[in-house]
Structure 1
Amino acid sequence: MKLSDYDMSASRGFLSHFQIVDIDLPDIFVPVVEAAENLSGLMTTGRIRHWLDRLPALDLTEWAANAPEEQVRVAMVRYSFLVQAYVWGESDAPTALPANLARPIVALADRLDQAPLLPYSGYVLDNWAQLDSSGPIALDNVYMVQNFYGGADENWFVLIHVAIEAAAAPLLDLACHLVEAVKAEDTARTTALLEDMEGHWDKVNAIFDRMPDRCDPYIYYQRVRPYIHGWANNPALPDGLIYEGVEKYAGKGQSFRGQTGSQSSIVPSMDALFQVQHGHDPLRNFLDELHAYRPAQHRRFIEDLREQSKLREFAIASGDPALRAAFNASVEQVARFRTRHLEYAASYINKQASNGKGNDTEVGTGGTPFMKYLKKHRDENRAQLI
């Protein structure tokens, strides 16, 4: 396995290989980009739909099928934010998405083999840029390009994820090398790679610990979270959302999962590498469903890693104390990451007061109950220690 086979690298991992600000869209997108760049201003008027209804109805079917993928992904970022703003930017959710938004985002999503709403890839992986292109992808050198209302809390929430994805990139490269080391039955190299992995996990977890620095739980709940929900298992859209003008949906409401950090491919990759097994429960079923929302190349990486990794079996069979210790240390680091996620779910969501439809404290933005299952999955992670 090589990261380059999956449009990935040891410096960026799952992050885009391009920066959104370097990709120009054709002139037909000018009004769309202008609306997206002024989204905060449009939303503040309280009548976001009035403004978005004025956008031209672009037929992107042929363009999306043939344009460079980088352009399609940038267009997806812009349109997916506009779609979310249309649905959640006023007090009551609409029953339908107008054709001038519905048809373009479906064309873009079809090209990318993703769902036609805001994905984690559009929210995080493709939605960042460096202030100094010669510097690192780190919290003091990146900014969020497309947002909803903007502000430090919204930006910081996304940028923490960007920085985590960058810091996790070496872990994914090490995972590829570990697959090869195990195939070669090289105990010493496998141990060394795992020991190296633990140090990178320290960096990832240190970044995750910084979420509260500039993202307040109350502000997150009131001004960030409401706009990233989907239309599955959402009481505000019990019959889903109708995509007007999209023939394949035949006028029927569609129920898609919302953007969530659980669409990140880091932890599923580690579960695949360490051969972590989770029992069947609503969150497991939900996470399995979310796999289809990831970029196609990232899905393939996880699937290939799951198929090829024999790391846990090798560590057990080797009987080598150093290898087992290194294996357990990295598994524990993933459990530590999951513990922090559980703590944030409690403080940023569960402890916040209910804020009406679509912002339920018991249901995640992806549309599933989460608290007890996050703990269960963390415990199942730790149960893989050998």
Structure 2
Amino acid sequence: MFIPNTSFEVLEDAKLDDISLPAFMVSTIRGFLPRMDPIVTLPQEFDPVEDLLQSMPVLTHSGRPGFLASGRLGDEVEKLPDLTEEIEKYHNNLPMMNALYRDYSFLASAYLLEPCHMRFIKGEPTGFKPFMEYAGSCLSGWGANIYYNALFNYRLENPDRGLEYDNLRLIRAFEHGLDPSSSEAGFVLVHVDMVKNSGPIIAGTMSALSALHDRNGAEPAVQRETFNDGLRTVLGAMRKVNGVMETMWGKSKPRSYTSFRTFIFGITSQSMFPDGVVYEGINDGKPMSFRGESGANDSMIPLMDNLLQIQMPETPLTEILQDFREYRPSNHRQFLVEIKHCSEDLGVKDFALGIDSYRLARTDEEKESVLESRRLWIKLLDQVRDFRWRHWCFAREYILKQTSHPTATGGSPIVTWLPNQLQAVMEEMVEIYGNIGGQSGPAYLGEECRSIMDLVSRQRDMLRKEVDKYCQERGVSARG
């Protein structure tokens, strides 16, 4: 299946046995999850890496303290043999290369941030200090796409049960994550549980776009209903994603998050890496900076942004959002670009809101079909708002109330960055609802949409007050 007017293929068969394809490819079956379940154990020639990773966590699978519990990991990493030639043997096995990337990235992140962790456990929880010695770190090839490592970091306890939450386990962990009941495991596995619902989001998106692409010769009523069916599929899946997201509160506790969060920080805009990091033998010895793990690396909400044509303000905060889009697998990145162009080229937003279609409708049935498109559009925007509002609530409870460190793991300003996108969605909803006359009269969209917009009005005011409060407390500009 191809995105209309493009050569980009969305897989309808995950092609589980094809190792020549990247592990991360967009599909209607697996969504944004890897095409197959991740590789759990590295080949025998990587036993030194495997052994070190199993001995690394603060609490190992055996229940004994690991190297990170005592600050010994750095010394052990220095003993690792150079396995570059062994890695090259697998350059045609792309899922294996993903597993190797995952595991070396875990080591690199733990190696760089171990000193911060040691300060944290010694009683310095309110902020990080610069570690200038990081400039001499002898590492190679570490990117910051740890979010997708998280999606390649689960195994199934019982393969027959599939992706049920209580059947998921972590492959690698920094702190206590090998215990499935730990907050670290909960943090990662809830993300996996969310993304497993992304297949129908993609399928519904493709259906809606195809309905408009095939408009020539199609009966308008049939086209409109096919389009609406696609939006309904996306809406149902987004509701599931947000429902799973809500379970984070019970599966990863705010007070526990701060400790293992240390290891998912990146290098960009972080006080502990004021001059970046030099990777020996890379980039002519010049420092480099990468962003760390962030929910902004996820592809589901950017897909919604692009399909729904949500306009972001032209601010430095939005520039950070654009930068995050580089930290995705190339297939996902290209998919999002093509969806944006396709949605704009086909006039998806104009068709959904149907100003002319409603005015020219000849029957009550045709008018009702347009009103249904509008309702679905508002409800989809509301799911994006709901996701971003909850993300902001997480940031408030898990981070702002726990630490004074000014930047998030990905390097964005912790107080103002999420509200930048959240406010944009709510402004879009208010503008659309007013322009289409959805609040009353013949184009009234009903009580559910009215309740949604009442909530938006309250949350806009609440968000402004909260951001102003935290900015004043921390001495930062509310305008980012």
Query: TM over 0.5: same fold?
Result: yes
Q: What residue identity is the alignment partner of 1:289?
A: D
Candidates 410, 413, 422, aligned match of 1:366: 410
| 1:375 equivalent in structure 2 | 419
2:308 counterpart (274, 277, 301): 274
1:168 to partner: Cα distance: 2.3
1:179 maps to amino acid: L
Counterpart in the other structure of 1:257: 291
Specify the alignment match of 2:36 in structure 1: 18
Residue 61 of structure 1: how far off its partner (Å): 9.2
What residue is the counterpart of 2:156 in the other structure? 130
Letter paired with 1:29? F
Q: 2: CA distance between counterparts of 1:160 and 1:26?
A: 28
Of all paired residues, the percent bearing the same amino acid is 28
Aligned equivalent of 2:279 = 243
> Are 1:77 and 1:118, in contact at CA under 8 Å, matched by a contact in 2?
no
Label 1:372 to 1:64 Cα distance change in 2 as closer, same or farther (>3 A): farther
Report the Cα offset of residue 210 of structure 1.
0.7
Letter matched to residue 266 of structure 1: M
Correspondence list, 1:104-119, <5 A: 106=141, 116-117=143-144, 119=146
Cα deviation, residue 47, structure 1: 2.0
What is the aligned partner in structure 2 of residue 76 from structure 1? 101
1:293 correspondence with 2:340? no
What stretches of structure 1 move > 4 A for 4+ residues in a row? none
Using the alignment, how far apart are the partners of 1:168 and 1:373 within structure 2?
Answer: 25
- Cα shift at 1:77: 0.7
CA distance in 1, matches of 2:316, 2:90: 35
Which one has more relative contact order, counting CA pairs under 8 Å at least 6 apart? 1
For the 8 Å contact 1:131–1:143, the answer to whether it is kept is yes
How far 1:84 moved relative to its partner? 0.6
Shift of 1:311: 1.8
Q: Does the 8 Å CA contact 2:207/2:226 hold for their aligned counterparts?
A: no
CA distance in 2, matches of 1:62, 1:378: 42
SS at the partner of 2:11?
helix
SS at match of 1:66: coil
Alignment of 1:142-161 (within 5 A): 142-151=168-177, 152-161=182-191
Q: Is contact 1:96-1:244 (8 Å) kept?
A: no
SS where residue 143 of structure 1 aligns? strand
CA RMSD, Structure 1 to Structure 2 (Å):
2.0
Displacement of 1:282? 2.7
Tell me whether 1:86 sits opposite 2:107 in the alignment.
no
> Where does residue 66 of structure 1 map in the other structure?
91
Alignment TM-score, normalising by the size of structure 1? 0.88
Provide the rounded CA distance (Å) in 2 between the counterparts of 1:209 and 1:288.
26
Shift of 1:64: 7.1
Match of residue 194 from structure 2 = 164
Alpha-carbon separation, structure 1, partners of 2:417 and 2:98:
32
Does the C-alpha gap of structure 1 residues 21 and 66 become closer, same or farther in structure 2, counting only changes over 3 Å? closer
Equivalent pairs, count: 363
Cα distance change of structure 1 residues 287 and 13 upon mapping to structure 2, 3 Å threshold? same
CA–CA separation in structure 2 for the residues paired with 1:97 and 1:60: 24
Structure 1, 259-268 or 54-63: larger mean CA deviation:
54-63
The DSSP-based 3-state class of the residue aligned with 1:163 is: helix
1:307 aligns with 2:341: yes
- Matched ranges for 1:318-337 at <5 A: 318-319=357-358, 320-337=370-387
Deviation at 1:146, TM superposition (A): 0.9
Larger deviation: 336-345 or 165-174?
Answer: 165-174
Q: 1:349 to 1:202 in 2, by over 3 A?
A: same
What is the Cα deviation at residue 65 of structure 1? Answer: 7.8
Give distance in 1, aligned partners of 2:158 and 2:69. 31
What's the TM-score, normalizing by structure 2? 0.72
Q: Contact 2:202/2:234 (CA < 8 Å) preserved in 1?
A: no
2:465 match: none
Structure 1 range deviating more: 265-274 or 189-198: 189-198
What does residue 390 of structure 2 align with? 340
Q: Unpaired runs of 5+ in structure 2?
A: 4-8, 13-23, 58-65, 117-129, 216-222, 359-369, 433-480
Alpha-carbon spacing, 1:169–1:156, altered in 2? closer, same or farther (3 Å): same
CA shift at 1:117, angstroms?
A: 3.9
1:51-82 Cα deviation digits (max 9, x unpaired):
11111122259717833110100001100000
Q: 1:141 — aligned with what?
A: 167
Deviation at 1:8, TM superposition (A): 2.6
Contact 1:131/1:141 (<8 A) preserved: yes
Partners of 1:48 and 1:89 within 8 A in 2: yes
1:109 aligns with: none
Relative distance call for 1:10 and 1:90 in structure 2 (3 A) is: same
Distance 1:373 1:25, change over 3 A: closer
Residues 1:133 and 1:62: Cα distance change in structure 2 (over 3 Å): closer
Secondary structure of the 2:169 match is strand
Structure 2: distance between partners of 1:263 and 1:61: 30
Q: Secondary structure at the match of 2:155?
A: strand
